[in-house]
Amino acid sequence: MTQDTPTAPPSDLKMQRSSRDASTVPGLLEAWLAEVLPAGAEPQVVLHSGIDANGMSSETLVLDATWTEDGERTTRPFVARVAPSEADFPVFPRYDLQAQYDAMRLVGELSDVPVPRVSLMEPTGDVLGTPFFLMDRIDGVIPPDVLPYNFGDSWLFDAAPEQQRRLQDSTVAAIVGLHAIDDAAARFPFLDPAAHGLTGGDLLQRNIARVREWYEFAAADIGRSPLVERAFAWLEANVPTAHDEDAVLCWGDSRIGNVIYRDFEPVAVLDWEVALLGPRELDLSWMLFAHQVFETIAGVMGLPGMPDFLREEDVVATYRELSGVELGDLTWYHVFNGLQWCIVFMRTGARQIHFGEIERPDDVESLFHCKPLVERILEQAGA
C-alpha cells in the first residue's frame, strides 16, 4: 500500500455549487408556476436555501410554493433539483435530468422504496437557465459528509450500536427493494449507456465505456491520472461474467449520505443522477466503498472512526438474508467504483480551482481522498 496520505476536507469547507443569483429565483419560479398551474393560482414562492452539506453534482433549492387551489391557499414544501450549467463546471459530461425524474417516478410507482414524490418539471432551461423539477420535501436527518459522520460529533457517530445497525440494515433493505423491481431493462431502458450511443459489448462493458467517456471529459481540463488508467486496464482485462438479462435497477450513488432518515430508517432515497442498469454488486460495493473512504481518512488523522459499521461481511450477509441472492466477489466492483470516485475528485477539484477555492495542483492525484484505498484494492487484486 502506498504511503501517500489522504487529506480530509477542512472543517469550514463550503464548496461553491453555482454562480446563480438566488435573489432572482422566487420571481422566476412564480412566473413559471403562473403559466403551468390553473388560472387564478396566484403563486408565491419563498426560497429558504440551497442544500450544500452533501452532494456536489447538482444544485438543490429548498422552497415553499403557495397557490390558490379549489378556492383555498395551499402551501407545498418542495425541493427543486436543478441541472448544473456549463459555466459552473458540472461533475458529469451530460446531466440527464429527465432520466433522473423518470427513475424516481418509476421507483415510487413500482416499489415500496421511499423516494420523494416528483412533481412539476421544467425541461427547457428557459426559466432558471437549466432544466429543473420539483419534488416533495421530506423531513429527517442525513449523515453528514463535511465533516464526515465517522469523524465524531455527529448524530450517527453518537448513536447506540443497535441504532447504527438498524440504519445499516434498513438501508440494505432499501437497496434490496430497488433490485427486486422486475424486468428492469424494459422498465428503465433510458439508463442503459446504449441510450447515449455507447452500444458495443455487454452491459458491463458499456458501463466501462460510459465511465471512460467521463474520465476523458475530466482529464481534458485537469490532466490525466496514472492510477485511473491503471484501474481501467485491470477492469477491462478482468470483466466478470454478468448476464444482461440478470441486470437490476442500480441506484448508483448508494451511500448513506444520500438518504434521509427518521428513527434510523430511510424515509427518502435521494440523488439518482448516476442510476444505471447492471449487476446488483455495483450498489453494495458503492455503499461499502463510500464508508471506507471516510474510514481511511479517519485512520490517517488518528480518529477512531466507525470500524464496526458497514462491514462488508455484515452487509453482504444482510443482503443475502433479505433477498435470497448470493452476491459474487466484490473486488472488481470496488475497483470500478473507486475509479469513479477518483473522477469525481478530478471534477470537484476543477470546480474549486475555477471558483478560486484552491490552487491548481502539480499532481492531479493529490486531489484523490480515496487514493490509498484504491491503490490497496488494486494491489490486493494483483494489478
For residues 180-209, one letter each, b for 16 or more C-beta atoms within 10 angstroms of the residue's C-beta and e for the rest, the string is bbeebbebbebbbbbebebeeeebbbbbbb
- What are the C-alpha distances in Å from 268 to residues 181, 191, 256, 271, 356? 17, 21, 11, 10, 34
- pLDDT tens column, 362-372: 999 999 999 99
pLDDT of 91 > 50? The answer is: yes
Among candidate residues 96, 253, 271, 283, the one labeled active-site is 253
Per-residue model confidence (pLDDT) at position 132: 97
pLDDT of 10 > 60? The answer is: no
Give the β-pairing of 59-69 and 44-50: antiparallel
CATH number for 22-136: choose from 3.90.1150.10, 3.30.200.20, 3.40.50.970, 3.20.20.450. Answer: 3.30.200.20
Superfamily covering domain 149-381: Aminoglycoside phosphotransferase (APH), C-terminal lobe (3.90.1200.10)
> How would you write 114-150 as a 3-class SS string?
CCCCEEEEECCCCCCCCCEEEEECCCCECCCECCEHH
pLDDT of 334 > 70? The answer is: yes
Cα dihedral: 333, 84, 90, 88 (round 10):
-160
Can you count the helices (H) and strands (E) in the chain? 10, 9
Q: By CB neighbour count within 10 A (0-12 exposed, 13-18 middle, 19+ buried), where does 62 fall?
A: middle
Per-residue model confidence (pLDDT) at position 14: 43
Q: Residue range 19-48: average pLDDT?
A: 93
- pLDDT tens column, 341-353: 999 999 999 989 9
Let me know if 21 is a catalytic residue.
no
Contact 160, 280 (CB under 8 A): no
Per-residue model confidence (pLDDT) at position 20: 67
Residue 9 grid coordinates: 476536507
Per-residue model confidence (pLDDT) at position 94: 87
Specify the 3-state DSSP secondary structure of 221: helix
290, 300, 296: which is closest to 341 by C-alpha?
Answer: 290
Per-residue model confidence (pLDDT) at position 19: 58
Cell 480515496, located at residue: 370
Domain spans, the chain:
22-136, 149-381
Per DSSP, the residues of 58-107 read: SEEEEEEEEEEETTEEEEEEEEEEEPPPGGG--SSS---HHHHHHHHHHH
CA distance 139 to 346: 32
If pLDDT is split at 50, 70 and 90, which confidence band does 5 have?
Answer: very low
50, 47, 49, 54: which is closest to 13 by C-alpha?
Answer: 54
pLDDT of 55 > 70? The answer is: no
- pLDDT tens column, 282-301: 999 999 999 999 999 999 89
pLDDT of 184 > 60? The answer is: yes
CA distance 235 to 123: 36
- pLDDT tens column, 100-152: 999 999 999 999 999 999 999 999 999 999 999 999 999 999 999 989 999 99
Per-residue model confidence (pLDDT) at position 50: 62
Kind and range of the H or E element at 236? Answer: helix 226-237
- For residue 248, the tally of other CB atoms under 10 A from its CB is 24
Residue type, 190: F
Cβ contacts of residue 329 below 8 Å, gap of 6+? 240
pTM score, whole prediction = 0.91
If pLDDT is split at 50, 70 and 90, which confidence band does 201 have?
Answer: confident
